[in-house]
Homo-oligomer: A and B are copies of this chain.
């Protein structure tokens, strides 16, 4: 995928540690809410940069996953950050449609643990 010259710094990303995949967090650029976490291989990262739309690697379907292609809930990517160890990606996105979660919640993180370890739903 892509021109190796064009994407040379992407070679620094440590895909090896995760057998070709790195975790990618998506954060709502407008509200700061953390929306979801998924995985990217190199092609997904390059596609995300090229298209300005979040593209992940589906571990269950084993294919490139242009988020929103079927649901319409696409993510316009405003910024692509990487952490100190170069093994985790953080996307700042404009979430479109009904939200990031397949349950149609805005964020996948809609439940919390109490201090006693009980799960409870939180208000959005």
Contacts and interface: CB of A to CB of B under 8 A. Distances in A.
A34 B34 contact: yes
Q: How many copies does the complex hold?
A: 2
A12 B119 contact: yes
Given A9-B117, A81-B111, A85-B108, 15 more contacts: A2-B117, A8-B117, A9-B119, A12-B119, A25-B25, A25-B37, A36-B83, A46-B117, A52-B115, A80-B113, A81-B109, A82-B111, A83-B108, A84-B102, A84-B110
Interface residues of A, number: 46
Interface in A67-95: 79-85, 88, 90
A102 B85 CA distance: 10
